[in-house]
Amino acid sequence: MKLGYGKGIATSSLFLLLAVPSCIFFSARPASAQCSDATATRPILFVPGIWEDSTKWGPNVDDFIVSGIRHNVITQLANTPGYSNTEAYDLYFDGITVRWAQPPPGRPLTDPIASSANIPCTARNFAISFYGWPESGQEAFDPGVVSGVSILTKAYELSQVLQAIAGLTYVQDSIVIAHSMGALDTRVYLDGLAPLNTTITLGTPAIVACKQLKCPMPSTIPYTGEVGHLITLDGTNAGADLAYFNDALSGIFGLNVSELQPSSAVVQALNNGAGYLDQLGDDRHAHSPNPAPTIDAIIDYFSPSVFNPFSTAPCALNWLDSCTWDLVVPYDSQSIRDPLSDLPGLNDIAISFSAADLSISLDPNCTFVPPGLPVPFPIPGVLHLLPCLGDYHPTANPGQTSDYVVGQTYLNTAGQPTTVNVKTTYDGGAQYSGPISLILSYGDTPPTPPDRGPG
Element (H, E) at 46: strand 44-47
Cβ neighbours of residue 1 under 8 Å, at least 6 residues apart? Answer: 348, 350
The 3-state DSSP class for residue 174 equals strand
Which residues have a Cβ under 8 Å from the Cβ of 294 and sit 6 or more positions away? 229, 230, 345, 346, 347, 412
Closest CA to 85 of 179, 173, 168: 168
DSSP notation for 83-134: -----EEEEEE-SSSEEE-SSTT--TTTPPBP-TTTS-TT--EEEE------
What is the maximum span of the chain, computed from C-alpha positions, in angstroms?
A: 80
CA distance 111 to 140: 13
pLDDT tens string 375-415 = 778 999 999 999 999 999 999 999 999 999 999 999 999 87
The more confident residue out of 332 and 417 is 332
Q: Please tell me the CATH code under which domain 40-419 is placed.
A: 3.40.50
In whole angstroms, give the CA distance from residue 20 to residue 164. 30
Encode pLDDT of 11-31 as tens digits. Answer: 233 223 223 333 333 334 443
Q: Is the pLDDT of residue 440 over 50?
A: no
Confidence at residue 130, expressed as pLDDT on a 0 to 100 scale = 98
Which has more confidence, 193 or 428?
193
For residues 314 and 284, the model is more confident at: 314
**Every domain of the chain and the residues it spans:** 40-419
pTM of the model: 0.85
What is the pLDDT of the chain when averaged over all its residues? Answer: 82
pLDDT value at residue 91: 98
Position with higher pLDDT, 96 vs 376? 96
Output the CA–CA distances (angstroms, integers) from residue 443 to 78, 82, 170, 426, 440, in the order listed.
20, 15, 22, 28, 10
Confidence band (pLDDT; 50, 70, 90) for 230?
very high
Q: Are strands 23-26 and 420-426 parallel, antiparallel or unpaired?
A: antiparallel
pLDDT of residue 16: 30
